[in-house]
A and B are shown apart, each in its own frame.
Chain A
């Protein structure tokens, strides 16, 4: 008997013997789904993010005022939420130290994006035209601004927005402009304030996403030199989870 024939016999046998195991695929998935996602959702109810709760209250008030149209909005939010887990844990490296942190899903239905934020350290502020992630504990007046702003611009292109950012860079020195793939697919522009660099020299980073249906997202990070490995690194970590939700 040739080696090939014998090997083939083993292969055939293993395939035949294990054929029935594929019948438990769906049942196995249901157990995985229950453990990973349904349990999480239950846990989330006790630790819901402040922003989402606030948004829920606003939505409820809104419901009473105009019932029919918000039914649709709420259904859409639920639809987006159902695509993502609401809370998860990730390991990040800050200033050379690894740390585990719980991150919380934030959904903006109007701008149609999601991002996970470290809600122990940061909070989400919802604005009319943009959202801002800022430190949960206010920094003292001696510190320059620390924030990550997420803005969606319609009827534009990435090139036009890059040009606008550059034109508005009064008092800043452009340090970098490059196409990047991490933490998101974007063009990144980095600039710092003119003058001698000190611990509190403001630093700005813009991430401009590719144009899609004449829409562009601009994420602007503001912090200061000494906070580059702290807030700067944490912002990038959160930004890694940023995702645009298509219609």
Chain B
């Protein structure tokens, strides 16, 4: 698989457009899902993914084909998402667990399905927590891979995942008890 991908990238380095399209086909679905998960808008997700692939193409000469492509690509994608989020008016909502529970208590008279509750909880996570949750649960990356991508150490990733999971779990259990 890695060898096949290396061949494809070698072709792209030589300017082969069809090879670039093949690479896009392999990565676009999950790139769009990831970007959508973080930006919450189809058109913004499309812009972010577009920017990421343009960067990949323009910088492909600096990519070492002996290394796996996926972490390199996701590092670019996540950086684009972050750039977009910091530029956009959507301010990061840092709410602690108690505030979240208050918020959900207000909503408890509405009979919401559990997916909506997770959605609500995810939306209220710190950006950095949402990124690790997305990479872990949507893309199935390991903590080590996420650490490499985010250029941080593995214990930071583990800690962010732990905190994010705790918050989500707290909200999820609370809401299910109240329903």
Query: Interface on A for B, CB 8 Å cutoff?
Result: 1, 6-7, 9-25, 27-29, 31-32, 35-37, 82-85, 88-91, 105, 114, 116, 240-243
Nearest-Cβ distance from residue A203 to partner chain B, whole angstroms: 26
Partner of A14, one of B32, B137, B169: B137
Question: In the assembly, what is the distance between CA of A77 and CA of B165, in Å?
Answer: 57
- Stretch binding the partner chain, chosen from B72-80, B89-97, B114-122: B114-122
Chain B residues with CB below 8 A from A9, complex form: 114, 118, 172
Chain A residues with CB below 8 A from B18, complex form: 83
Question: In the assembly, what is the distance between CA of A152 and CA of B48, in Å?
Answer: 45
Partner of B33, one of A18, A35, A37, A105: A18
Supplied contacts A21-B42, A28-B50, A116-B14, 9 more A-B pairs, CB within 8 Å: A19-B33, A24-B45, A28-B32, A28-B46, A82-B17, A84-B15, A84-B16, A85-B15, A242-B14
Question: In the assembly, what is the distance between CA of A229 and CA of B14, in Å?
Answer: 22
User: Contact: A25 with B134, CB < 8 Å?
Assistant: no
User: Contact: A32 with B50, CB < 8 Å?
Assistant: yes
Chain A residues with CB below 8 A from B138, complex form: 11, 14-15, 18
Chain B interface residue count, CB cutoff 8 Å, equals 43
Question: In the assembly, what is the distance between CA of A83 and CA of B20, in Å?
Answer: 10
Report 6 cross-chain contacts, Cβ distance below 8 Å, ordered by A residue: A7-B137, A10-B168, A22-B29, A28-B32, A84-B14, A116-B15
Chain B residues with CB below 8 A from A16, complex form: 115
Nearest-Cβ distance from residue B29 to partner chain A, whole angstroms: 5
Chain B residues with CB below 8 A from A89, complex form: 58
Chain A residues with CB below 8 A from B62, complex form: 91
Nearest-Cβ distance from residue A240 to partner chain B, whole angstroms: 7
Indicate whether A84 sits within 8 Å of B17 (C-beta atoms), given known contacts A11-B137, A36-B54: yes
User: Contact: B15 with A25, CB < 8 Å?
Assistant: no
User: Contact: A13 with B118, CB < 8 Å?
Assistant: yes
Instruction: Decide if B101 is an interface residue (CB 8 Å cutoff).
Output: no
User: Contact: A90 with B61, CB < 8 Å?
Assistant: yes
Query: Interface on B for A, CB 8 Å cutoff?
Result: 11, 13-18, 20-21, 24, 28-29, 32-37, 42, 45-46, 49-50, 53-54, 57-58, 61-62, 114-115, 118-119, 122, 133-134, 137-138, 165, 168-169, 172-173
User: Contact: A32 with B24, CB < 8 Å?
Assistant: yes
Give the secondary structure class of B's interface: helix
Question: In the assembly, what is the distance between CA of A88 and CA of B62, in Å?
Answer: 14
Q: Which residue of A lies closest to B24 (CB)?
A: A29
Question: In the assembly, what is the distance between CA of A243 and CA of B61, in Å?
Answer: 16
Partner of A24, one of B21, B32, B118, B165: B32
Number of A-B residue pairs, CB cutoff 8 Å, is 110
User: Contact: A83 with B32, CB < 8 Å?
Assistant: no
Chain A residues with CB below 8 A from B24, complex form: 29, 32
Nearest-Cβ distance from residue B164 to partner chain A, whole angstroms: 9
Question: In the assembly, what is the distance between CA of A12 and CA of B137, in Å?
Answer: 9
Q: Which 7 A-B pairs have the closest CB atoms?
A: A18-B33, A21-B36, A21-B32, A14-B138, A84-B15, A13-B118, A28-B46
Most B C-beta atoms less than 10 A away, residue of A19, A21, A27, A114: A21
User: Contact: A21 with B16, CB < 8 Å?
Assistant: no
User: Contact: B54 with A32, CB < 8 Å?
Assistant: yes
Nearest-Cβ distance from residue A19 to partner chain B, whole angstroms: 8
Q: Which residue of A lies closest to B11 (CB)?
A: A243
Question: In the assembly, what is the distance between CA of A18 and CA of B30, in Å?
Answer: 9
Q: Which residue of B lies closest to A103 (CB)?
A: B15
Chain B residues with CB below 8 A from A116, complex form: 14-15
Question: In the assembly, what is the distance between CA of A116 and CA of B114, in Å?
Answer: 56
User: Contact: B50 with A35, CB < 8 Å?
Assistant: yes
User: Contact: A88 with B17, CB < 8 Å?
Assistant: no
Chain B residues with CB below 8 A from A22, complex form: 28-29, 32-33
Chain B residues with CB below 8 A from A15, complex form: 33, 138
